[in-house]
Amino acid sequence: MAELLDMKALVEPGRALNDDEYLRYSRHILIPDIDEIGQRRIVNSKVLVVGAGGLGSPTTLYLAAAGVGTLGILDFDRVDVTNLQRQIIHTQKDIGKSKALSAMEKVNALNPNVKIFLHEVKLDEGNALQIFKDYDLIIDCTDNFATRYLINDAAALLEKPYIWGSIYQFDGQASLFWSKEGPCYRCMHPTAPPFGSVPSCAEGGVLGLLCGAIGSIQANEAIKLITGIGDLLLGSVLVFNALNTSYEKVKIKKSPNCPICNGTQKSLLVNYEAFCGLPDSITATELRNKDSDYLLVDVREPDEYAALSIPGAVLIPMAKFEDGSAFDNLPKNREIILHCRSGVRSAKCLGLLRSAGFMNSKHLRGGILAWEESKS
């Protein structure tokens, strides 16, 4: 991979810097490897950050501070009190607010020179290519396998690089994937792990400051790629353990069997959730238009249900699915549709429900957040 060290800068230098920019970015300009030309590349760059949560918080803030000229922020979620332990771009007063909007407000306060585009939508097979096409690179700050494969494939089909990060408990990973120049995410993970075998941060927890460590690495990789400096992580995964304060680089190679890299897959898959083995789902629009008889079950906690609920939904918290008590009063001769906040808990409950013999069942893709978004 030695030739990758000599890759040219991803972005051409833009217009001359004005006096305010010379002062604001003076500490960058003093670095010989960046200097004025490098800073002009940064100012001329267009970067999309997918996810304004744990990883997206430091990534977005550092890219904005660095002077990235156009910054896209994609997230359809809303700020929750449980986010504040690690998602440092949001504050107490932002609870209930759109994460993308909250992030935009902080970027505006930090650097008003940055042009921001908000994408307050759930990334899916129908919008990924259209959104990605206007950016130079994509940064993946998401937390689920279906979205990671979608981002990888969309970026590859558009021949764009994408920077990936992942965190869980005390462990973090980061890499640069670019099928045009090296391996992609599918080269490392040809298939997704079995559904439910890898706990999410919501299930297993995460050290808050780990987000800062990995998110900063993602932002650093973006700056190197934009300006054409340094040793890129293309072909390597950086593995960080916060307990041992240890870093390790693991080499990965382009796979000849990768359908994205060998050109056999020429379009996005129809359903990335199905590709990753997620249980059957129904979209919010489909649920709104559904006229057949069904039972809608909310698997969230009572306080969440009291704050916001879908009309007609019956509350049965996730704990009752885990201990089996939920199954006693559910009908087997009627379709059951489960929902939670974003689709994570309902997908897990659906697996438990089907294991108990309730096969005529689905869950709401994207949860109540997608339901609320579908109102518009």
Q: What is the mean pLDDT of residues 289-316?
A: 92
Active site annotation includes 201: yes
| Band (301; pLDDT cuts 50, 70, 90) | very high
Positions of E strands within the chain: 46-50, 70-74, 115-119, 137-140, 162-168, 171-177, 236-241, 246-251, 281-282, 294-298, 314-315, 335-339, 361-364
Q: What is the pTM for the complete model shown?
A: 0.83
What is the structure's pLDDT at 1? 35
Residue 45, pLDDT > 50, answer yes
What is the structure's pLDDT at 2? 34
Residue 196, pLDDT > 70, answer no
- Which of 261, 276, 340, 349 is catalytic? The answer is 340
What is the structure's pLDDT at 370? 87
Spatial distance between the Cα atoms of 22 and 365, rounded to a whole number of angstroms: 47
Q: What is the mean pLDDT of residues 296-304?
A: 94
Q: What is the mean pLDDT of residues 274-281?
A: 78
| Band (282; pLDDT cuts 50, 70, 90) | confident
Cβ(333)–Cβ(352) below 8 Å: no
- CB within 8 Å of 105: residues ≥ 6 apart: none
| Band (273; pLDDT cuts 50, 70, 90) | confident
- CB within 8 Å of 18: residues ≥ 6 apart: none
Dump pLDDT digits (tens) for 91-101: 999 999 999 99
| Band (291; pLDDT cuts 50, 70, 90) | confident
Active site annotation includes 349: no
Residue 332, pLDDT > 60, answer yes
Buried b (16+ CB within 10 A) or exposed e, 185-211: bbbbeeebeebeeeeebeeeebbeebb
Burial of 49 (0-12, 13-18, 19+ CB in 10 A): buried
Highest-confidence segment of 234-238, 286-290, 326-330: 234-238
Mean pLDDT of the chain: 92
What is the structure's pLDDT at 376? 66
Kindly report which listed range (73-87, 185-199, 320-334) carries the lowest average pLDDT score.
185-199
Residue 4, pLDDT > 60, answer no
Structural tokens at position 253: 């190679």
Counting residues of the chain whose pLDDT is more than 70, the rounded percentage is: 97
Domains of the chain: 2-272 (3.40.50.720), 279-373 (3.40.250.10)
Q: What is the mean pLDDT of residues 119-139?
A: 96
Q: What is the mean pLDDT of residues 276-295?
A: 85
Spatial distance between the Cα atoms of 183 and 65, rounded to a whole number of angstroms: 30
Q: Length of the chain in residues, anyone?
A: 376
Closest CA to 1 of 212, 232, 158: 232
What is the structure's pLDDT at 133? 97
Residue 216, pLDDT > 60, answer yes
Q: What is the DSSP string of 261-312?
A: TTS---S--S-HHHHTTPPPEE-HHHHHT--S-EEEEE-S-HHHHHH---TT
Residue 261, pLDDT > 60, answer yes
Q: What is the mean pLDDT of residues 315-344?
A: 92
Dump pLDDT digits (tens) for 156-167: 999 999 999 999
- Which of 141, 187, 201, 258 is catalytic? The answer is 201
What is the structure's pLDDT at 94? 96
Cβ(45)–Cβ(135) below 8 Å: no
